[in-house]
């Protein structure tokens, strides 16, 4: 492999499939094929991906136990003009995966960094959950200590996405169910794999289910906003739709058809919207 022009290399952050090995982009495959070295969390898993797509590359392990040491060595190779591809076992590197130290050193030393788009268990689970997407937060792996877990659940005003071990899933759901049993939850298991499952329900329902039927595989847990927050959001939607309906009627539109159209756009009840307008005139 010929070093990058100008004697300065480039770090390319490459998202890899979260399960199905076909979920890799053409740009990532090109970057892996052109890299002088591929820094990977587990060389065995990365080699399997490369072999699946007919690629060969020089692999170097970079994980939580050796990242600082390996980052210094990789930065030196970048200064020498080499191309380094960074991958984790699955998904986008740095998102609850190794690579942050290498990224920071590259940025601090003015080295070129390119981040490619690609698979993410966080986004896939969030969309599959069917829960509100307008505002959400990612908590990484859920804390193990009960007090920290309670603070996290209590403090989440919007949709919360987190990773959880299948061994601790039932216990974490039980903590949530005790504090907010009606909270909407989705457990996304083995996303994009053969046994993919997305189970949706209340915290109480899913806590009971996984207590009796322990989960297996990789878990993305999505927790909806508290009922009070969801209700407040619905109230805002209704008031905005009602104000729009009022303006349309004042401009000459017929109330009932306008209410039906606005209800579809805002996700509120058309009859409730129409009654709200007619009650104002009484």
- pLDDT above 60: residue 235: no
- Provide the pLDDT for residue 133: 92
Neighbour count for residue 107 (Cβ, 10 Å): 12
Distance CA(225)–CA(241), nearest Å, equals: 22
Which CATH number is correct for 122-221, 3.40.1350.10, 3.40.50.300, 3.40.50.720, 3.30.950.10? 3.30.950.10
- Provide the pLDDT for residue 27: 97
- Provide the pLDDT for residue 252: 87
Q: In this structure, are residues 219 and 182 in contact, taking their beta carbons and an 8 Å threshold?
A: no
Gyration radius of the chain's alpha carbons: 24
- pLDDT above 80: residue 264: no
Distance CA(44)–CA(224), nearest Å, equals: 37
- pLDDT above 50: residue 224: yes
- Provide the pLDDT for residue 236: 53
Neighbour count for residue 68 (Cβ, 10 Å): 11
**Percent of the chain predicted with pLDDT > 70:** 93
Split at pLDDT 50, 70, 90, the class of 1 is very low
CA distances from 157 to 80, 152, 227 (A): 48, 10, 10
DSSP 209-254: HHHHS---S-EEEEEPPPHHHHHHHHHHHHHHHHHHHHHHHHTT--
Give the domain ranges of the chain.
8-119, 122-221, 229-280
More confident residue, 161 or 248: 161
Task: Summarize pLDDT for 112-125 with one digit per residue, the tens.
Answer: 999 999 999 999 99
Distance CA(84)–CA(92), nearest Å, equals: 16
Split at pLDDT 50, 70, 90, the class of 4 is very low
- Provide the pLDDT for residue 266: 72
Q: In this structure, are residues 232 and 158 in contact, taking their beta carbons and an 8 Å threshold?
A: no
Q: Do β-strands 219-223 and 184-189 pair in parallel, antiparallel, or remain unpaired? A: antiparallel
- pLDDT above 80: residue 229: no
CA dihedral for 98, 26, 29, 113, sign (positive or negative): negative
Average pLDDT in the chain: 91
Task: Summarize pLDDT for 155-199 with one digit per residue, the tens.
Answer: 999 999 999 999 999 999 999 999 999 999 999 999 999 999 999
Q: In this structure, are residues 63 and 41 in contact, taking their beta carbons and an 8 Å threshold?
A: yes
- pLDDT above 90: residue 232: no
DSSP 87-116: E-SSBSTTSSSS-HHHHHHHHHTT-EEEE-
Fold of 8-119: Cobalt-precorrin-4 Transmethylase; domain 1 (3.40.1010)
- Provide the pLDDT for residue 108: 95
- pLDDT above 50: residue 241: yes
Rounded to the nearest 5 degrees, what angle is found at the Cα of 144, between the Cα atoms of 143 and 149? Answer: 55
Phi, psi dihedral angles at 55 (to 5 degrees): -110, 155
Task: Summarize pLDDT for 143-155 with one digit per residue, the tens.
Answer: 999 999 999 999 9
- pLDDT above 80: residue 257: yes
Q: What average pLDDT does this structure show over 22-39? A: 97
CA dihedral for 42, 44, 47, 53, sign (positive or negative): negative
- pLDDT above 70: residue 281: no
Q: What average pLDDT does this structure show over 136-141? A: 96
């Amino acid at each position: 492999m010929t070093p990058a022009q100008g004697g300065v290399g480039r770090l390319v952050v490459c998202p890899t499939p979260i399960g199905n090995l076909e979920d890799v982009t053409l740009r990532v495959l090109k970057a892996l094929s052109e890299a002088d070295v591929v820094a990977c969390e587990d060389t065995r898993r990365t080699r399997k991906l490369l072999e699946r797509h007919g690629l060969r590359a020089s692999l170097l392990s970079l994980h939580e136990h050796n990242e600082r040491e390996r980052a210094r060595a990789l930065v030196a190779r970048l200064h020498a003009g080499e191309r380094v591809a960074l991958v984790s076992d699955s998904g986008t590197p740095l998102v609850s995966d190794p690579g942050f130290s290498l990224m920071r050193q590259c940025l601090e030393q003015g080295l070129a960094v390119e981040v490619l788009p690609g698979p993410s268990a966080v986004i896939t689970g969030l969309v599959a959950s069917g829960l509100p997407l307008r505002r959400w937060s990612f908590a990484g792996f859920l804390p193990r200590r009960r007090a920290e877990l309670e603070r996290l659940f209590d403090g989440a005003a919007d949709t919360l996405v987190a990773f959880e071990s299948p061994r601790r899933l039932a216990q974490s759901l039980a903590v949530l169910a005790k504090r907010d049993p009606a909270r909407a939850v989705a457990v996304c298991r083995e996303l994009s794999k053969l046994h993919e499952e997305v189970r949706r329900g209340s915290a109480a329902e899913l806590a009971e289910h996984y207590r009796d039927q322990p989960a297996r595989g990789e878990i993305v847990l999505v927790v909806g906003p508290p009922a009070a927050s969801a209700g407040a959001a619905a109230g805002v939607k209704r008031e905005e739709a009602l104000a729009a309906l009022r303006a349309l009627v004042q401009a000459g539109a017929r109330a009932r058809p306008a209410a039906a159209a606005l209800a579809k756009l805002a996700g509120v009840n058309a009859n409730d919207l129409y009654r709200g307008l007619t009650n104002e005139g009484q």
